Structure 1
Amino acid sequence: MTWIRVIIPAFNEEGSIARVIYDIPSHISEVIVVDNQSKDKTAQEAITAGATLLYEPKMGYGYACLRGLSYLKELEEPTDILVFLDGDYSDYPEEMDKIISPIIENNIDLVIGARVKSKREPGSMTFPQIFGNWLATRLMRLFFNSKFTDLGPFRAIKYTKLLALNMQDKTYGWTVEMQLKALKQNLTYTEVGIHYRNRIGESKVSGTVKGAVMAGVKILGWIFKYTFK
């Protein structure tokens, strides 16, 4: 049996979190929602939908992901593959098998769900997101000969490989840190084109000028840190 678990960081996602959970393939071993100080009914909706609920009082996407990892380390059952997914329903959870498949069938270490233009709903990505992804992936290509085209949060990775990356980022840089460390450690990786739609609710990052700027600074910071390390 392959144990596959999903971590969903969530902040004020009461209108979407249950839909995300219900659309996850039924063979997934466990769905873990990490409530990152939500002020609405995110926690109740997640529990009702059947997810394991964790709380992370420190605000930040990375903090929530790290809380999920600390939970996995306490389990007696193993975790073979770990999937990360946002709680805003912008991704299509039912496409999860497409992302997991290269790991199971081809022994790939890391798979990124790439939000390709042909599969994106109009308006689903803001200009700062599109430009930020373009710039970050171009820099990774320039400095590390990377073939990444996206920093999409919908991704799957072998659990043991993720632990070896020793993830540190607490906020906006989680995704790019993972990809940079994967490149540094010569992990095998690929991308799978996925559909992407307008999220339910307001974005906490790209929906604000401050969030977009802070995310951009953090992403570029990680890239230059690893370039000149």
Structure 2
Amino acid sequence: MSSPVDVVLPCLDEAGALPSVLAAIAPSYRAIVVDNGSTDGSPEIARRFGATVVYASERGYGSAVHAGLEAATAPIVVCCDADGSFDMHQLGRVVDPIMRGEADLCFGRRVPSSASAWPIHARFANWVLLRFVRWKIRVPVEDLGPMRAARRDALLGLGLQDRRSGYPLELLLRARRNNWRIAEVPVDYQARVGQSKVTGTLRGTVQAITDMLRMLRRYS
């Protein structure tokens, strides 16, 4: 019997985190690790822990997520970072509203376990961006978090184009434009294993915000 939920895990050099991340995913869910150019053996580790491994040759967060979405076969897809920052036991928090038919898209709102779990520059950038988004499109979300769930066919039907850091915002904007019911639930957020390629550095954060502002201009 196929899984009712596929878990898409974008991955770039996450060898240190993958064993614990994959071990914590419920047996009823299928893990799809999308390798985006790792050089640390991440794909081999993912296979060893029973994950399906696919590759996204074009570098970028959106590229990895889209490759995972295309590889998914379950009716519901949940996307989550593979860096150990989330508790995989909480995937059901974002999946359940979709499964019950209460929402079309559900975000996990990050609740940091410590100050180091979510760098202050990244938290501030997220806050500023979301204030603008709430004012611009009237969507009451507090976090554009990397844990989120929706139905696979509906996601593909949105025709998302961004293949970099603007992908999550394009998803929110297009979902809003299509009158999706958008929900948000709290999820625990802890310090990731290793350094983030995006929010772990000021330069990466600036690039992500630049991508998202470009997306806002496109849909304004």
Range of TM-score over shorter length:
over 0.9
Conserved 8 A contact 2:16-2:193: yes
Kindly report which structure 2 residues correspond to 1:100-179, keeping only aligned pairs within 5 A, or say none: 100-116=95-111, 119-179=112-172
Q: Residue 222 of structure 1 corresponds to which residue in structure 2?
A: 215
Tell me: CA distance 1:95–1:173, structure 2 relative to 1, closer, same or farther (3 Å). same
- Are residues 1:190 and 2:176 paired? no
Alpha-carbon deviations, 1:15-55, whole Å to 9, x = none?
A: 00121111111211x21001111010111110001000112
AA partner of residue 113 (structure 2): R
Instruction: Quote the offset at 1:155 in angstroms.
Output: 0.7
Conserved 8 A contact 2:69-2:77: no
Q: What stretches of structure 1 of length at least 5 have no aligned partner? A: 73-77
Q: Residue 86 of structure 1 corresponds to which residue in structure 2?
A: 81
- Per the normalisation by structure 2, the TM-score is 0.95
Instruction: Quote the offset at 1:208 in angstroms.
Output: 2.1
AA partner of residue 62 (structure 1): G
Residues in 2 aligned to 1:223 and 1:125: alpha-carbon distance in whole angstroms: 24
Structure 1 stretches of 4+ with a deviation exceeding 6 A read none
Instruction: Quote the offset at 1:158 in angstroms.
Output: 1.3
| Selected match of 2:91 from 85, 88, 96 | 96
- Are residues 1:70 and 2:65 paired? no
- Per the normalisation by structure 1, the TM-score is 0.91
Residues in 2 aligned to 1:111 and 1:127: alpha-carbon distance in whole angstroms: 25
Conserved 8 A contact 2:33-2:53: yes
Residues in 1 aligned to 2:7 and 2:202: alpha-carbon distance in whole angstroms: 30
Instruction: Quote the offset at 1:2 in angstroms.
Output: 6.8
Between Structure 1 and Structure 2, how many residues are aligned?
A: 219
Alpha-carbon deviations, 1:157-190, whole Å to 9, x = none?
A: 1112211211111111111111111111110011
AA partner of residue 59 (structure 2): M
Instruction: Quote the offset at 1:88 in angstroms.
Output: 0.3
Tell me: CA distance 1:16–1:211, structure 2 relative to 1, closer, same or farther (3 Å). same
Q: What stretches of structure 2 of length at least 5 have no aligned partner? A: none
Conserved 8 A contact 2:25-2:88: yes
Alpha-carbon deviations, 1:53-90, whole Å to 9, x = none?
A: 11222211111112122323xxxxx5211000111000
AA partner of residue 202 (structure 1): Q
Conserved 8 A contact 1:136-1:223: no
Conserved 8 A contact 1:139-1:223: no
Alpha-carbon deviations, 1:82-104, whole Å to 9, x = none?
A: 00011100011110111111112
